[in-house]
Amino acid sequence: LSSGPVAATVWGGPSVVHTSRAMIQHTNLAEAAPSTTWRDYSVHISRNTTHCSRSVEGAQREIQLRFQSSELACWVNCAAEGPKQKI
């Protein structure tokens, strides 16, 4: 997180840690599956494009290190609620 520009984001939702870790896969390139973030965009364990917390508790600690509470915004997934009618 220190060798270049960083775009830090906080994701939320049901099973978000499990889902995001499935997209990223192993931090060992030899074990990462094709078409995963680690396999496609990383060159070494210390030179990679992605970081993902291993647990909700870990994410909470890491969020506090990177963000102030005023920088975080809550949003509602309106797609999950279905289409809205015009008033």
In tens, the pLDDT along 5-14 reads: 878 889 888 8
Average pLDDT over all residues of the chain = 80
pLDDT confidence of residue 86:
57
Place of tokens 């060992």: 28
Verify whether residue 44 is a known catalytic residue.
no
Q: Which domains does the chain have, with CATH numbers?
A: 1-68 (3.30.70.141)
**Which residue of the set 18, 26, 44, 51 is catalytic?**
51
Say yes or no to pLDDT of 79 above 70.
Answer: no
Contact by Cβ (8 Å): 1, 7:
no
- Contacts (Cβ under 8 Å, ≥6 apart) of 29: 38, 39, 42, 44, 45
Beta bridge partners of 47: 44
